[in-house]
Amino acid sequence: MSTRNQLRSAKRIVVKVGTSTLTHPSGGMNLHRIEHLVRELIDEANQGKDILLVSSGAIAAGMNALGLAERPASVPARQALAAIGQGALLHIYEKFFHEYGRTMAQVLLTKENAARHHQYMNSRNALLALLGMNVIPVINENDAVAVDEIKIGDNDNLSAVVAALVDADVLIILSDIDGVYTANPRTDLSARLISEIPEITPEIESIAGGAGSAQGTGGMQTKIEAAKIAQNAGVTMVITRGDEDGIVRSILRGEKVGTLFPAREAHLRTRKSWLAFGQRLMGEVSVDAGCVSAMRGGASLLAVGVTDVYGEFSEGDTIRVLSPDGQEIARGIAAYDAADIARLMGHQTADFHALVADAAHEEIIHRDNMVLMV
């Protein structure tokens, strides 16, 4: 059975809708689109499916409420608009959910809820409890209080973290573009839509551009990052346009819509999911080809295979592991800080105490604290 056809049996679905889909070009809220999306999600839920909605649009709703034409540059001003707009946006959602006979719940998250393991588990349990009550969670980042240190930063990545959090089958990202193209379709008429991306290679990552619309924060780059999270969490992801009525239904009926990122076969255990996607990435190390092969075979990351260190991170921080061509192959918890790894790299374990006096670990990242990303 093709991956598209497998979507017909999806039980738990996360849908992320971007600001550009929820608003008119004028900045006003697109009530027609919001109502049709809510009706479609409820119709899927009425068939026994678990539905979670990750919704952008709080700042845009705040701008609309105050009659502002341009998004303010200062963080406090954006946070104030988010506080105003979140209530206005949820009022619109609540009205439409109520009209179609389904209860919704507002859930606001920050990176801190994912970075701390007990909060990660509490967030997971709360969302699963809501689904058990036949409630549709409407989720957004808590922009009104989040600062850079605890911000996820965009709802594409938030939706992927949520999908991993609840063991979703499918993540659907509704945007203002049909999917991933071979080039920017707005500037290159020869650009072609890519129907399926089985693996996110450096070439695919290079296709991603910068920020998208004037009102939103995410471009294709954040969607590719979200796809990486989804695939490695065992979640199939689809990116497509959100301005077409019935689009969610079409995807879940296996129609060839947008760009599909098929899930890797095995779901990560909950702790591995938290390890890979809940934590803030603080740095990177590059490794040689032999190390890549050993890690894919189940080995820990040893210093002898490390070729370079990037960033300033501490012992216990989560870092990325890059192959010789720059592809992310793993994430994990560093057993040493960046300075110590720079001293240890290329050396055998027997040399550690001569290089770092209090060296206590044989590995740079133990395999139990590492998640392969390819």
Q: What is the mean pLDDT of residues 199-211?
A: 74
- Domain residue limits, the chain: 3-272, 280-372
Spelled out in words, what is the top-level CATH class assigned to the domain 3-272?
alpha beta
Separation of CA 18 from chain center:
13
Binding site, annotated residues for ATP:
16, 175-176, 217-223
Q: CA–CA separation, 299 vs 179, rounded Å? A: 36
Confidence of residue 234 (pLDDT cuts 50, 70, 90): confident
Binding site, annotated residues:
16, 56, 143, 155, 175-176, 217-223
On average, the pLDDT of the chain sits at 86
Spelled out in words, what is the top-level CATH class assigned to the domain 280-372?
mainly beta
Query: Tokens in use for 129?
Result: 């409890």
How much is the pLDDT for 232? 81
pLDDT exceeds cutoff 90 at 69:
no
CA distances from 123 to 120, 153, 274 (A): 5, 18, 11
Which residues contact residue 98 at a Cβ distance below 8 angstroms, ignoring those fewer than 6 apart?
A: none
Q: CA–CA separation, 348 vs 344, rounded Å? A: 8
Cα–Cα nearest to 274, from 314, 223, 322, 332 = 332
Binding site, annotated residues for substrate:
56, 143, 155
Query: Tokens in use for 103?
Result: 């209860």
pLDDT single digits (tens) 266-275: 545 554 565 5
Cα–Cα nearest to 137, from 160, 162, 157 = 162
Using a 10 angstrom Cβ sphere, with 0-12 exposed, 13-18 middle and 19 or more buried, the burial of residue 244 is middle
Q: What is the mean pLDDT of residues 260-267?
A: 78
